[in-house]
A and B are shown apart, each in its own frame.
Chain A
C-alpha cells in the first residue's frame, strides 16, 4: 500500500496527558499537511511542511501542539497537556508540488483522539 498511513488509528487518553501521532506520507511527496476534523465539520488546516521545513501554522495550533518532520519523511504531531476540546480526528495529507503547479492532497485514514 503506497498511500498515506497514520498511527495509531485510535487513541484514548486522560486529560492532561501527552499524545503523539505519526504520519507517513506517500513516498517522494514533498509537502505534508496536518488537519483536524470535529463532528459535523470539514477538516481544518493546522500546519504544513515542505520537505523538513514547517512553513505555516494555523492559529488553531496552540502552543500545546508541536509538529516535526525530521529529514523530510514522516511527521509527528504532539499534543501536550491534552484537553477535552482536543478530541477530534487528526488527518494527515501529502502532496507533490513542483514550481507553481496545482497540488492534489491525498489524505491518510486519520487518528481519532478521545480525551476523557
Chain B
C-alpha cells in the first residue's frame, strides 16, 4: 500500500511557464514533507520542505503548497528552466517523539521535461 503517491509519471512544460507537480498521501500521521530532485546516476538533491503546521513555503522559484484536509501537496516551479528537467520525488515523514527514526517515505517520482 503506497502511502505517498505521485500519479503523474511524467510532465512536459515549456521553458518560462509554470511547472506543477502533485503528490497525495494517505497517512495522517505524516507531519513533514520534502521534495527532492534527482538527475540520472546521482542521488536525490533536497529542494524544499514544509511542516504540517504551514500551508505554503517558498524558496526562490520553488513553492510548496500543503492541503492537509485533502492530504495533498504540490510543488510549483516558476519560471521553469531547462536545467529543471529531472525526476522529482515527494517524501513524507511521520513524527515520533524521542528517538523516532524520521525515516522518509517516498513517492515513485515524476519526470519533468522543460522544453526550450
Interface residue ranges, A against B (CB under 8 Å) = 4, 6, 31, 33, 35, 40-45, 48, 50, 55-56, 58, 91, 93, 95, 97, 100, 102-110, 112
Is A42 within 8 A of B43, CB to CB?
Answer: no
Chain B, residue nearest A108 (CB): B43
Is A41 within 8 A of B46, CB to CB?
Answer: no
In whole Å, how far is B40's beta carbon from the nearest beta carbon of chain A?
A: 11
**Cβ proximity bits B86-113 to A, threshold 8 Å, 1 near / 0 not:** 0001010101010101111111110000
**Cβ proximity bits B29-47 to A, threshold 8 Å, 1 near / 0 not:** 0001010100001111110
In whole Å, how far is B20's beta carbon from the nearest beta carbon of chain A?
A: 19
Q: Which of B45, B46, B103, B105 contacts A48 (CB 8 A)?
A: B103
Is B99 within 8 A of A42, CB to CB?
Answer: no
Is B44 within 8 A of A41, CB to CB?
Answer: no
Bound Cα distance A40, B110 (Å): 10
Contacts of B101 in A (CB 8 A): 45, 48, 55-56
Q: How many residues of B contact A (CB 8 A)?
A: 27
Interface residue ranges, B against A (CB under 8 Å) = 4, 32, 34, 36, 41-46, 49, 51, 89, 91, 93, 95, 97, 99, 101-109
Contacts of A105 in B (CB 8 A): 34, 46, 104
Contacts of B49 in A (CB 8 A): 102, 104
Q: Which of A50, A102, A109, A110 contacts B32 (CB 8 A)?
A: A102
Chain A, residue nearest B96 (CB): A100
Contacts of A102 in B (CB 8 A): 32, 49, 51, 93
Contacts of A43 in B (CB 8 A): 44, 89, 104, 106
Is A50 within 8 A of B99, CB to CB?
Answer: yes
Bound Cα distance A97, B113 (Å): 35
Chain A, residue nearest B49 (CB): A104
Given contacts A40-B108, A100-B97, A102-B32, contact A107 B45 (CB under 8 A): yes
In whole Å, how far is B97's beta carbon from the nearest beta carbon of chain A?
A: 7
Bound Cα distance A50, B109 (Å): 28
Contacts of B32 in A (CB 8 A): 102
